Structure 1
Amino acid sequence: MSYIWQSPHWPRFEWKLDHLSSRIAAVRLDQGRLIGRVESLGFHTREATVLRTLTDDVVKSSAIEGERLNEQQVRSSLARRLGINIDGYVTPNRSVEGIVHITLDATINCAEPLTAERLFQWHAALFPTGRNEWGQKLRVGDWRDDTGGHMEIVSGAFGHEKVHYVAPPADCLDAEMSAFLGWFNGSHDLDPLVKAATAHLWFVAIHPFGDGNGRITRAIADMALARGDGGAQRLYSMSAAIERSRTSYYEALQSITSKEALDITSWIEWFLDRLGNAVGDTLQTLDNVMVKNNFWQAHAASDLNPRQAKVLNRLLEGDFEGKLTSTKWAKLTNASQDTASRDIADLLAKDILRKGEAGGRSTAYELALDFPIKHAPRYE
């Protein structure tokens, strides 16, 4: 099998801009809408949005590699570094502190040059004990070597492994990374979204570290996106969008890196689709936040019991499965059927709930909203 870096024209990537232009325009439009939406919100809502987005980015980037971080530790580390007051602070461990440092350095300090020394610092922060999560000793804060054999991406049981990719030899890494960093820091007429996608694939193809390449790759892509946004606060999580499409993520990368052709149009299309998902998710979240805020303001004078408040919040969060019936109400609130019926009747009288179209034994209820809770469309 041949690999992309073995092309005689490596790394002169190509793409068909006419295939990408509509996707780029759509993402740019949504990015503009998102910035406008956030600017119309209060300070605390903007702060909460940034904290939630960064927490998602850190947790999901590690989850892509099979590492499960404590979300509360991640949130606490981010809040402390950003000067945000939160309830329920939890002391983070060294591994969490390391990936949080990388994420913030890549985005907040996105205008600073990306250098080999900076990447070495990121790698050392990612593995503070000098070992990965499986206890394997690593060459930390330096490019990998080939003392244990070529860097291979494999799957399958022992003795039945399938090799998906072989990275460039270690003795090429200084030259490979010099070319990459020169391009990444250079000024050229290239759309920032295309640059972020290209940087992501290029760094993955080089695979310069013994471990942690995926997480550092996504930090680099976030850095390129932050530069394109003018250093704006992170309002969407690309890693969360990738994590939801984890299988197709690896398939999209392998389809490009496992051959010598340098046309990366299909990869950039995949990247832009997931970026669109990420931006769309935040837009819908903010829309729902506004709906929720408006709802509670409109019903601030309503006398609601704890059961009613619990169910209404579930409906407003948009995570209620199926239709709301009196039976579901009773189960959710651990109440009797008669109590559930009285709770619902009270909300109907207050114009907080309304009956759905079906009647009789199939009677269901929904929030009386002018603008319903929505979910962003996604590419899978």
Structure 2
Amino acid sequence: MTIQSPNHAATFAPQLRVAEDTAMIRAAAQVTRDLAAARPAIYWADFLGSALLGYTGLALAMTASGWLAVLAGVVAVLALYRAGLFTHEIAHLRPGAVPGFRTAWNFIIGVPLLVPSFMYENVHSIHHTRIRYGTAEDPEYLPLALMKPWTVPMFAIVAVLAPIALLLRFGILAPLSLVIPPLRRMLVARYSSLSINPEFRRRAPEGAFARHWAIWETAASLWAMTLLALVVTGVVPLREFAIALAVVSAVTVLNQVRTLVAHLWENDGEQLTVTGQYLDSVNVPPPGLLPALWAPVGLRYHALHHLLPGVPYHALGEAHRRIQAAVPADSPYHVASYPGLTGLVVRLVRGGRRP
């Protein structure tokens, strides 16, 4: 989903204009060399357990009533959110690292929730490109801290409509685009990526990735059309459909809130060093417990992830502990750690009010 980019002041955070701290980068790489391998058993157990819990909670929320339905809905949101965030791991996993995982994720989460992995693959990698991070070419960056004060709540609120937008994209626009070439070009360029930069335009897929895209877009479109038909004909009651939409909407909003605090969003289009990117990103390490819920699957270590994007999610906690012990007290590595969500949101909103 995207939001329009309002006018903002031409300011730039000085702390991001830093030279490369090669000592920090070297130390981080050296002490984490043995953590780079993904462990398939962890991926499968975590993902399948989260998906099972999420769908069980969703079924109970749709059929129960009262506090039981509410509690089941909360469980469904948190568990499906966790299962969904494995798309981030898929975007980083080396081919063959966890055999069959991408296919299973698409069958279990990507198609049912209408967010197949092609919408994130080959998009998220641009965000990690050193010369594109934080620039106008970055699909996952907006200088939110430099924008108008209303931008931050607007950024979260638009996520409420994401499930409806996805139903429209896959259930109606995708089939129509097969016979309307201009619509197809627009759909590929503007509505086929999980991005926040409204200026980002995606290129048409090629080769093996084009086949992968076609398979999962077709599957998602068939599912969306079937679901809409079942609701229109009354086979799926409107109440249950509305509950499912509310759960998926809550998942999207939660992810959007997490995105709000994944970075400081203080770069105004300049190319940054890796150290500058790290300082514009956020770790929320222990002892806080809540980040395990709102930033699961390793995303509580988002700054570290930008420093070492090849380290799998299950190893980031250990990597953080090792790097903390290896670098001196005045290392910029310590600067990117924050205590929790509230302070980060307040900082972002206050930043948005800067002249």
**TM-score, normalized by the shorter chain, greater than 0.5:** no
Normalised TM-score (structure 1): 0.28
Larger Rg, first or second structure (1 or 2): 1
Normalised TM-score (structure 2): 0.30
